[in-house]
Amino acid sequence: MNLALFDLDNTLIAGDSDFQWAQFLITKKVLDRELHEAKNIEFYEQYKAGTLDIHEFLDFQLKPLARHPRAQLEAWRSEFVQKKIMPIIAPGARSLIERHQLDGDLCIIITATNSFVTAPIAQLFGIDHLIATEPEQKEGEFTGRITGTPSFREGKIERLEKWLDEHNLTWLSFLRSWFYSDSLNDLPLMSKVTHPVAVDPDVTLKNHAERNNWSIISLR
């Protein structure tokens, strides 16, 4: 058996779902533009630079989930996926995933973005397994906090290995493993697989990939 791991944002989609979700809520007037837009952009720039404090960001990103009933959030999410995510699906993403699925590889999307936002996006790609940052819930409603380790940088390795253990698997269960990502933030996990693939990479990842003879591809 082989393992195929896919980052989501700026890899399978040509944009960042976390950033787009906050911008969507601003356009819906759910979030105040003056208070949130500049901060949202600031966090996104920190992410791209590899300097993001994930806990500070998640405190900002998850609080809006706690302010509204689950049913309302799900209605907004449905509109968000239709209007903001489907148009930015990378043209080559589905065929890449289908190749791995046809080969019988275990396919997993692993993303720092929270599972509330990303679960329906994973479904768009026909991928059943999602490892994402988990928002805490009480009685079906969000608290605005996280539960467990954020799926970010080294946290992706921790979360993946926990998932594998829960499914009676280890790294040794796989003859070959791939991880497709665009971001320098994913270098820790990319260094664990047998076939790291830089997808439309940022400059830091591109340089690292070239130095280490990693594959570099575009899905756009």
Which pLDDT belongs to residue 35?
Answer: 84
What are residue 130's DSSP bridge partners? 109
b/e code 208-218 from CB counts within 10 Å (16+ = b): bbeeeebeeee
User: Which CATH number is correct for 1-220, 3.30.420.40, 3.50.50.60, 3.90.79.10, 3.40.50.1000?
Assistant: 3.40.50.1000
Among this protein's residues, is 16 annotated catalytic?
A: no
Which pLDDT belongs to residue 127?
Answer: 98
Catalytic residue selected from 9, 16, 18, 182: 9
Give domain limits for the chain: 1-220
Which pLDDT belongs to residue 34?
Answer: 87
pLDDT 10s per residue in the chain (220 long)?
999 999 999 999 999 999 999 999 999 999 999 888 888 999 999 999 999 999 999 988 899 899 999 999 999 999 999 999 999 999 999 999 999 999 999 999 999 999 999 999 999 999 999 999 999 999 999 999 999 999 999 999 999 999 999 999 999 999 999 999 999 999 999 999 999 999 999 999 999 999 999 999 999 9
Say how far apart CA 41 and CA 186 lie, in whole Å.
20
| CB contact at 8 A, 108 and 3 | yes
> Is the pTM above the cut of 0.95?
yes
Contacts of 74 (CB under 8 A, 6+ apart): none
Which pLDDT belongs to residue 29?
Answer: 93
Which pLDDT belongs to residue 52?
Answer: 93
Among this protein's residues, is 18 annotated catalytic?
A: no
